[in-house]
Amino acid sequence: MSPTKGRTGKGLLLLTPLPAGVLLIVLFFVPLLYTTGGAFIVDGRFSLKRIALILSDPYSLSVIGFTFRQALVSTLFSVAAGLPGAWLIGNCDFPGRRILKSVCMIPFVLPPILLVLGFVIFYGNNGYLNRALMALFGLSQPPLRILYSYWAIIAAHTFYNFPVVMSLTGSAWEQMDRSCEMASRTLGAGRFRTFVSVTLPRLLPAVLSSALLVFLFCFTSFAVVLVLGGGPRFTTIEVEIYNQARRLMNTDQAAALALVSLFVCIVVVITDIMLQKPVEGLRPAGDRRSAGKGKAWALVYALLLGFFVLAPLVSVVVRSFVGSATRAGEKHFSIEQYRGLFSGSVGQALAGSLIIAASVCIVALFCSLSLCVYLRRRKSGFLETVAMFPMAVSSIIVGLGYYTVSRLLGNISAHVLIVLAHTVLVIPFAIRTILPVYRALPQSLINSSRTLGCTPAGTFFRVELPLLRPILLTAGAFAFAISFGEMNATMMLSTGTVQTLPVLIYRLTDSYNYQGACALGSVLMLVCFGVFALGQASRRESTARASEEKK
């Protein structure tokens, strides 16, 4: 290889992080700093007055206190519900184990508004569960009245987040070597003492890490509280940011609240990073119990899981085919809502969601891949951390940043703002999907290509890119699904001329048009599950190809 080609290759390498770097700086950090900086400006001067007002105002303190309280209680319930499933995943072989692990992916696949809709349809005052109980026990009034209450928020958060605990803790439990437990039992310790003194200390980092992740999800929750909160008593910081910015047009107050939320989120993320460490000792493959008790507990847990997680989702699909002449009229089978999917406001929302998600997918993949090219060749912890930073910021705050800047600049299309906001939110997930596989590519293939005289660019397009195709499809699928189901930033930026599927579902739910909301929810569910299946198939292909290359 000539010196000229070598210098050209190094020059191109230095330019590869430029698209992602410019996008993150211009489209994430600048709006974020501009927006949060507004919290420190009063009458054109630097001042802490607005921050002090937030921390002394009784209403603001009640909002902050409620946000912490509901997030903590939701986390405790999620951990309690998820740990039995984690034990099953980590210690038992039983029929349907793979299906149980797939259920763990629901929070990562479906948008919150869809799960909230399922919660309302199944557990609502006139929901399927209440109607079944009334028919079974001959009751004239629904026995379960939890909607629009504190416990509705806790239940919905638990329903949405406990699979996170089950997945992360179960994976760690599955990898733990059992030799220490066996040694403890040999020395005379009982099962409970062995678990408390040997298993739990090694498992605790995974439990705490998953709990912190759930706390972060609940702390920044928006759709659940917006739909189920039912009023000012149950308002969280994220909902209050939206109220201040869009309903009261008080962006400075929203910026001060965003600063509080951002501080908490960063502290939680840093704590989570500090707690993460590799599992001590790996369990040999196939070393899991398969006793009858394990199978019995698996059956019980699967039934509960089906009741609390799958039944609400099935209810959305069933309700989409039920119509009535009036809200209280006799119910009958109907496909009327599906006939209007491609016309009017519904067709516009569906088309808008597809166009936005496809645009986000293309831009996010290009920027993420360009940054991964650099990070594979030159490890940069700082650059990688900066690229992950949007994960520590809630989508409402990202939307607030764009909303504030758009008011300053004016005449910016809401479609463009939504695409850019979604891209910023999606890039960290795309990088985390692509980079580990990219780093695992055999260096020998790349060296052979370079030895045969191929340029760095030629090696990338002829060798690396074909090997990365499956994982790029996976990352693209996740980027598309995240954007397609995103509601928080979209609510902050959408106008009367811009409508997406999740926003329209929320508005239909808010106006009690449940058949229309469920029909759109069924379409959204179908798209999300389809994209997820495509991504998983591509991931399996990527893993199989990597194994063949190593051989």
H, E, C per residue of 257-273: HHHHHHHHHHHHHHHHH
Which class is 60-173+200-319 in CATH? mainly alpha
- Cβ atoms of 159 and 308 closer than 8 Å: yes
Give me 324's structure tokens.
């009535």
Interacting residues of 298 by C-beta distance below 8 A, sequence separation 6+: 88, 92, 94, 96, 97, 100
The DSSP element (H or E) to which 333 belongs, if any, is strand 332-333
| Residues paired with 323 in a beta bridge | 332
Domain with CATH 1.10.3720.10 in the chain: 60-173+200-319, 344-551
Q: Is the pTM of this model over 0.75?
A: yes
Which class is 344-551 in CATH? mainly alpha
Q: What is the pLDDT along the chain (551 residues), one digit of tens a residue?
A: 444 444 455 555 556 777 777 888 888 888 888 888 878 877 777 778 888 888 888 998 999 999 999 999 999 999 999 888 888 887 777 777 777 777 777 777 788 888 889 988 998 888 888 889 898 888 888 888 888 888 889 988 998 888 888 888 888 887 777 777 777 777 777 777 777 777 778 888 888 988 998 999 999 999 889 888 766 778 899 999 998 888 888 888 888 899 999 999 888 888 887 776 555 554 544 455 544 456 777 778 878 877 888 888 899 999 988 876 565 566 777 787 787 777 777 888 888 889 999 999 999 998 888 888 888 877 767 787 788 888 888 889 988 888 888 887 777 788 888 999 999 999 988 888 888 888 887 777 777 777 777 777 777 778 888 888 888 888 888 889 889 988 888 888 877 667 888 988 888 888 888 888 898 999 888 888 888 777 777 666 666 655 565 55
What letter would DSSP give residue 289? B
Helix axes 112-123, 514-550, angle to 10 degrees: 130
